[in-house]
Amino acid sequence: MVWFLWFVLKRRCDDINVLGMGMGLVGIGFQVSEAKSWMKDVLRVGTSDRSGELIELGAVTLMVPGNLPIGCSSSYLTLVKGSNKEEYGPEIGCLTWLNKFAEYHNELLRIELNQMQQRNPHTTIIYADYYNTAMQLYRSPKNFGFTRGALSACYGGGGSYNYNPLVQCGILPSTVSGEPSLFIFWDGLHLTEATYRWIFRGLFEGPYTVPHISSPVWLKSKNCLKSVQYIVHSIVLLLLFVSRAI
């Protein structure tokens, strides 16, 4: 919350958090059982306490995102690549144990949000279901225009998922594998613009918010829609940053 207040006052932030929830399990070496044991405390501090401060500052509508299906991420698939086929879902090829951990996180988050809503009846607290919004893309990528598959990154350093942790964007020998709009992932960690547009539609035009929200009439204007998509893209990035930072 200190960084947020600094942003409000100064319009800047001095640090960047680069470790997401999955990286804590994969990169640092936490066991799933260990992570589950402190997940409730993390959500209490990171969600209830921080959102409560926002409400005290005057926020009347909050949208809180759940976690993405991190087991489908090109980066995590590369970092924990193994020979045990039972760890991978047969339908898509995602890491089942990582996705189950994300689902566990989201389940606890929704319980926390429901309790927070009861304590703050004057505030609208919306859960953004990133997990299922993204899963529809992974299950049927071609139906959404992602003809280059669901799990491989557009911009990367080669390998099964075109991701190499030692080869970052803009650094040789990283290359662009084709038109970004044909991929779900940009660099194995971040999504492409096309994916963000589908996330926007899932949240604001589809069933992936609780309580359900729908687009007002003014959003149906083409020019306005482009502007709002840009804004939502920025919000998605901010919310992802906040969810990782907590």
DSSP 87-124: GB-TTT--BHHHHHHHHHHHHHHHHHHHHHHHH-TTSE
Question: What's the distance, Cα to Cα, between the start and end of the chain in Å?
Answer: 9
Query: When comparing pLDDT for 79 and 143, which is higher?
Result: 143
What does the angle CA 9 – CA 62 – CA 69 come to, to the nearest 5 degrees? 110
Is residue 138 within a helix (H) or strand (E), and if so which, with residue range? helix 130-139
**Mean pLDDT lowest for which of 14-18, 144-148, 219-223?**
14-18
**Mean pLDDT lowest for which of 173-187, 204-218, 228-242?**
228-242
The one-letter code for the residue type at 81 is K
The one-letter code for the residue type at 98 is L
Statement: residue 84 has pLDDT above 70: yes
- Structural tokens at position 32: 């799933």
HSE on the CB side for 94, CA within 13 Å?
24
Query: When comparing pLDDT for 198 and 168, which is higher?
Result: 198
Predicted pLDDT at 150: 93
**Mean pLDDT lowest for which of 109-123, 198-212, 221-235?**
221-235
- Structural tokens at position 206: 């589809």
How much is the average pLDDT of 194-204?
94
Predicted pLDDT at 63: 92
Statement: residue 15 has pLDDT above 90: no
Question: Strands, E, within the chain: which ranges?
Answer: 61-65, 124-128, 155-156, 175-176, 209-210
**Rounded CA separation 120/130 (Å):** 24
**Rounded CA separation 60/70 (Å):** 30
**Mean pLDDT lowest for which of 10-14, 52-56, 135-139?**
10-14
125: region left, alpha or beta (phi > 0 left; psi from -120 to 50 alpha):
beta
Cα torsion 215, 221, 223, 227 to 10°: value is -10
Of 105, 120, 132, nearest in space to 44 by CA = 105
Cis peptide before 216 (omega within 30 of 0): no
Predicted pLDDT at 34: 73
- Structural tokens at position 209: 């918010």
**Rounded CA separation 140/60 (Å):** 36
Statement: residue 159 has pLDDT above 60: yes
Q: Is 147 helix (H, G, I), strand (E, B) or coil?
A: coil
Predicted pLDDT at 94: 96
How much is the average pLDDT of 153-176?
80
Statement: residue 146 has pLDDT above 50: yes
Of 195, 214, 197, nearest in space to 206 by CA = 214
Of 71, 122, 65, 110, nearest in space to 92 by CA = 71
Contact 233, 195 (CB under 8 A): no
Q: Which residue bears the tokens 């959003």?
A: 219
Query: When comparing pLDDT for 227 and 51, which is higher?
Result: 51
